[in-house]
A and B are shown apart, each in its own frame.
Chain A
Amino acid sequence: MTAVAHGAAAGPSAGAGASRPRRRAAGWLGFTPFAAYTLIFLAVPTVLAVWSGLTDEQGAFTLANFGAYANPVILRAFGNSIVLSLATAVASAVIGAVICVALLAVNPTGIVRVVADAAASVFAQFGGVMLAFAFVATIGTTGVLTLFLKQAFGFDINALAVDKTAGPLISQVSGMFFVYVYFSVPLMVIAFMPALVGLRPQWGEAVATLGGSRLRYWLHVGFPVLAPSFFGSMILVFAGAFSSYATASALTNTGVIIPIVMQQDLSSETLPGIAHVPGVLAIGMIVVMALVMWLYSLLQRRAARWQR
């Protein structure tokens, strides 16, 4: 569509020579494979997911599907998803920021820094089923850490679970928290490190010349300058945790968080009345993500002030 519109607009200005507008149109055609691909496999699925939440069995528009949010199971799963992602975001942001600050002290071209950068990108990719296995071997019922804590301190790791009656820690939301933090901290390091590197040494020198301590530096320079990037990176971590499915799915088969509920409802489509539940949940997720991304862009604008 755009190709035609542009060709028509360019026609009069190109003027002389009939071949020129034609070649221009031919150039635009080069985008068709990419455009068609992203249309069919990105735009259409997104629209279909949203649409399936807004239609009834006959395909007519309805808002009745939103009644799913009155279902206590779904409500709890949504609450779990948000609380788990929030807790992961806060914990990972703090841990990640501390690691970033520690990395400031090492030579930026030295081996430690290179290894740390590589490790961050490897561990940020290391989600899903394989990470779930590693944590089952660590804090599962017969996990290495579980046994060690029991033998050395008499401490039962399952006591950390919020709901003590719902089986071992690892298959609960409170156990997933640890796994989520594991793949979120590297993401935080990758997202937050550039802001820390961007702190000018002159600012520290200025505070020192004026007689300020390092505490004063952090209070009056460090925290205020870094705050927008810090919270921005935290939001990215939240978004990553909120949309994550693979790790949780390998740890439990009960619908404790929204993505698992969606998968279960999709695969049991034969049950009447819930065929449109995944669509409605998808809308909920999109709303949360849109909100979060809007916040992120606001914070990015504030952060950009100091990154000139």
Chain B
Amino acid sequence: MSGRIGPRAVRVGATPSRATSTVILVLAAAGFLYPLYALFRFAFWPTAQTHGFTLQHLERLTDPGQAYMYTQLFEGIRNSLVIAIVTVVLMIVFLLPAMILAELRYRRLRQVIEFVCLLPISIPTVVLAVGFVPVYQQIWHITGSVAWVLAFAIGIIVLPYAYRPIQSNMSGLDLVTLSEASRSLGAGWLQTVWSVVLPNLRGGILSSALITVSVVLGEYTVASFLTQNTFQTALALLQHADPYVAATFALGALLLIFLILVLIGAVGSVSRHKRKAS
């Protein structure tokens, strides 16, 4: 209490002192980085040494004689990339038109769309997966057991993530006025959507697509329940055969997802900047 007289000590309310805050944040950062450090060390440190860096654990990856061990992994990566692309297309074909239509013409439906899009958060993915099994038995009758159709199921899991960036982009614009202006200048609906609405939503659509890709690359549950080979299920299988390569690919994927999320942050701040400038 002696510090009360000094000007620095007038801390009121919830804000803790600088020192307390620093200690807590440093501890938290250490706690979160430690398992990553452990994973990195596992993948890249020479066996039975306390330090150093080696790629010796990855040598088998380039050995043609042992390539069979990794065919499943590479097939899983290919499948996941295809699923990611198809899922992004699905979001653009199914979700985006519905959101634009609701925003421009049927504004009361916006709440319905929001409700539907956020629903997959409160239904556990495993519950949906139990229901996907009979649905996919029918689908695979027609298409054969191919992985890319998983995109339809994963698209549902992605809905909440894909919805938010587009929605927050829309709520920052007055799309109704913009489209009325465009229409009064003689543009048709198609032209309005193509050259007025979509360019304004570029940032939201891009963020939405990026987060979709990052969620698809990390998706495991649906693929596991439907016994399809994707990046994550292949990683889970590989951990017994070659844990080093599995750990390396996990680190690589983490780095990629991290970069994607940083990119989303950058997209967000650029569009905020633009709005301020205009």
Chain A interface residues toward B at CB < 8 A: 27-28, 30-31, 33-35, 37-38, 40-42, 44-49, 52, 95, 98-99, 101-106, 112, 116, 118-119, 121-123, 125-131, 133-138, 143-145, 182, 185, 196, 199, 201, 203-205, 207-208, 214, 217-218, 222, 239, 242-243, 245-246, 249-250, 258-259, 262-263, 266-267, 278-279, 282, 285-286, 289-290, 293
Contacts and interface: CB of A to CB of B under 8 A. Distances in A.
Contacts, number: 246
B199 interface: no
B177 interface: no
Interface in B47-84: none
Interface stretch (B15-23, B140-148, B168-176, B179-187): B15-23
Contacts of A143: 38
A245 B232 contact: no
Given A40-B152, A278-B130, 6 more contacts: A102-B21, A125-B257, A243-B125, A258-B126, A259-B126, A263-B126
A126 B34 CA distance: 14
A75 to B, nearest CB: 18
B202 to A, nearest CB: 21
Nearest to B119: A42
B225 A208 contact: no
B7 interface: no
A144 B152 CA distance: 40
Contacts of A245: 125-126, 220-221, 224
B124 A207 contact: no
Given A48-B134, A118-B265, A145 B34 contact: yes
A59 B167 CA distance: 42
A134 B135 contact: no
A44 B38 contact: no
B241 interface: no
A243 B20 contact: no
B36 to A, nearest CB: 6
A207 B10 CA distance: 12
A28 B123 CA distance: 28
